[in-house]
Amino acid sequence: MKPFQPIVLLYSKMKDSTVYKLSIGLSLGVIVSGLHYLYCHYEESKFYKYLRQLRKKVRKNWKQNPNIERLDIVCENILQLNDYSDIKFFVKVIASKKFAVPKLRRPADEDPFAKEVCGQVYIESLSNTHALLYNKFPLVPSHVLVVTKEMEPQMSLINKDDFYAALKVMKALNCFIFFNGGAAAGASQKHKHLQAIPYDSFPNQSIPLNAIIEATQGKKNYVKGVEYRTIDPFKFRHILCKFEGNFVSATNCWNIEKQAKMLEDVYMECLRRLDNDKLQLAYNFILTKHWLFVVLRKCEVALGMVKINAVGFTGSFAVRSDEEYEFIRKQDPFNVLQSVTFAV
């Protein structure tokens, strides 16, 4: 008998058996799973590296860029409300001389976000459709803009491409995103752009609205497992969607396209609940790692005194003088916000 003949005979008997086929199938399954794990790990490592490089680039160049007009903060105040002792609003008083500097006159048809115009504050491309720019007049360090490469009107729906680019910035800079939809909502440019502000610009690295959400109740309901609710102290038309856990953390990076589509669906549901999915009205939009918020706007200036954009609804105001600060303090921040919105 040849040396390997027993093995050959055993193989010939087993090759058509169910056990043999199962063992081959399981072996292939283990190999495929292992390769998939290695591929996912490689992609995640590559994405983390990209996020670190983007964060480093934004922060380093922001300090060195001479084309950014940094605002002088005169003082920072915290307003504590009598009716809600756990809720505090954050107010920055900015040197009024910075606002008094006349703006450069541009041709009426010039796009301020076109690359050939804004090259001095251009950071890098985020995708085929979006670029990242510095805000030339930042409220805080690393205040950046997520801008469409092609001209799109600011008063247009936020889509999955916008969210895809915004998510990259949120994960890299640990920031929240806000959007001023229309002039009545505080938009100063016609070219579509979202803005990003890092959390570390706030006390305790948390925006004040987080405390408002946690300290108050509101009407809740669920659609496809997603929580939609209102906030009790806000007596105006708004909606908030709360996520499970930290939805946009850097560690939750696999399939960012899927995350972007999910955000687009939630955003559209919020607009439908406010009867504004056709964008008949101006609105503000805020996206954090824990929730998404939309509020309808009827005007930009509160009681003829203070301009309000989306940042005001985070529980933070930037004012131009001590008089404006005193105005907000005496009027009560909730009343100030209500004056620029539609009552429930």
Model confidence pLDDT, tens digit, residues 275-332: 999 999 999 999 998 899 999 999 999 999 999 999 999 989 988 888 998 999 888 8
Structure confidence by residue, pLDDT tens digits, 61-82: 888 888 888 877 777 777 766 5
- Under the banding of pLDDT at 50, 70 and 90, the label for residue 137 is confident
How far apart, in whole angstroms, are the C-alpha atoms of residue 17 and residue 10? 11
Structure confidence by residue, pLDDT tens digits, 18-74: 665 566 666 666 666 665 555 555 566 778 888 899 999 998 888 888 888 887 777
Q: What is the pLDDT of residue 100?
A: 47
**Chain center to CA of 187:** 16
Cβ atoms of residues 195 and 176 within 8 Å: no
What is the sign of the dihedral through the CA atoms of 316, 320, 326 and 328? Answer: negative
CATH of domain 70-338: 3.30.428.70
- Under the banding of pLDDT at 50, 70 and 90, the label for residue 11 is low
Beta strands (DSSP E) in 214-259 are: 220-223, 226-229, 238-242
Cβ atoms of residues 185 and 284 within 8 Å: yes
Q: What predicted TM-score, i.e. pTM, was given to this entire model? A: 0.84
- Residue that wins the pLDDT comparison between 210 and 168: 168
What residue ranges do the domains of the chain occupy? 1-64, 70-338
How far apart, in whole angstroms, are the C-alpha atoms of residue 322 and residue 230? 32
Kindly list the distances between the CA atom of residue 54 and the CA atoms of 47, 51, 126, 174, 317, in Å, as whole numbers in the listed order: 11, 5, 10, 12, 28
Cβ atoms of residues 131 and 125 within 8 Å: yes
- Under the banding of pLDDT at 50, 70 and 90, the label for residue 102 is very low
Q: Which of 73-77, 175-179, 230-234 has the highest mean pLDDT?
A: 175-179
Cβ atoms of residues 309 and 185 within 8 Å: yes
